[in-house]
Structure 1
């Protein structure tokens, strides 16, 4: 009769395992509520061994946050083919998948958590926002944004963040509706800016000419037209 022998992990393999375990725990509860003892238990190792790989909870949290940030940034990647409205809708679906999967951790990051305020954390948050910004400009076919377009894109990214945080607090609005609404919000922000700036107006016309009758941007135009007095 033979007994199983636990395989010894290498240093990097163990670090990645601990990051994965921490991410899973942070996805269900705020990082402030998760102890090193719980992380050690979930990983099947002792508390001192966790400290062998990470100096403390903060460093483990930052490592987990880095992996989550890379995952979130990747959610904004989308083939630059087809109507823009449909592309943004797919991006929002993946964005809310992430928010759904990592609710407490996402909320703790944006509202306050053990690593919030540190230079490493701020840099990671900014890297996600910048990745989203670059992706949106690529979808618009723009290399360098004008001041007004820069304002539109950055305002929309901030709006997506705040909308997700509000939604997490009770999920009182159907997720699918919010995803469409955020795509509509992008079009609305661009339209308001276009009313003041001819460069934005040209960009908006170029976007809308490729939108199908059943696309989200066309849907917004129809909804707004229905609100106008007869």
Structure 2
């Protein structure tokens, strides 16, 4: 974070600096607790100069959320080669990297923070969810999902989001276990849907056929087998 000394910056460079400073502050504390004076001091400029670039804290907050939303959406991007389970594990690892590094900022993004209910915030949240949805469909090599697959993917994206928010409140489950559990959750949601729909069953068979013996989906099957009566 830049502190203390003022620098002459161009308009766009100064705006980027203020967004980065605000995002760092919002990532460590609730946006409601961060003042314009703190943002100005961290950027090494005066309070009036902050208002020269942003009309108020809400507009700066929304700009910081937009940057965070873009970063979070990119965490779901992954090369589409190799077993699906391993790919999803890497996605979840990057997702929780973001959650871990930007706890209050993540909560503010997903819960709305001081801008709760605003069209801008809602659009940002929807953009993250849609980006995750599109990426998962790409991993499944599906362009036109069936209603059941649509439900599975959207439910899983929502589950990952809500699980991360709950985890931030105390971090009572080891992060690595939670990442693997969410990958297992995806397989479980797909398996339940496959029990009702042959198209989902065919997709699940294709996924499991490509899963190695040490993959997370195989691990789930083995764990469930231990629970079944002999």
On whether the aligned pair clears a TM of 0.5, the verdict is: yes
Residue 229 of structure 1 aligns to a residue in which SS? coil
Q: TM-score, normalised by structure 2?
A: 0.97
Q: Aligned partners of 1:146 and 1:70: how far apart in 2?
A: 28
**2:30–2:105: 8 Å Cα contact kept in structure 1?**
yes
Q: Pairwise CA RMSD of aligned residues? A: 1.0
Compute the displacement of 1:189 (Å).
0.0
> Within the alignment, does 1:33 sit opposite 2:37 as a pair?
no
Q: Aligned partners of 1:48 and 1:6: how far apart in 2?
A: 14
1:177-216 deviations in Å (ceiling 9; x for gaps): 0000000000000000000000000000000000001000
Residue 170 of structure 1 aligns to a residue in which SS? coil
Q: How many residues align?
A: 226
Q: Which residue does the alignment assign to 1:134? A: 134
Compute the displacement of 1:116 (Å).
1.8
Which structure 1 residue ranges, 4+ long, deviate > 6 Å from structure 2? none
Q: Aligned partners of 1:18 and 1:204: how far apart in 2?
A: 47
Q: Aligned partners of 2:133 and 2:92: how far apart in 1?
A: 14
Q: Which residue does the alignment assign to 2:210? A: 210
Compute the displacement of 1:105 (Å).
1.1
Q: Aligned partners of 2:60 and 2:102: how far apart in 1?
A: 16
Residue 171 of structure 1 aligns to a residue in which SS? coil
Unmatched tracts of structure 1, length 5 or more? none
Tell me: CA distance 1:6–1:114, structure 2 relative to 1, closer, same or farther (3 Å).
closer
Q: TM-score, normalised by structure 1?
A: 0.97
Q: Which residue does the alignment assign to 1:63? A: 63
Unmatched tracts of structure 2, length 5 or more? none
Compute the displacement of 1:7 (Å).
4.1
Compute the displacement of 1:112 (Å).
4.0
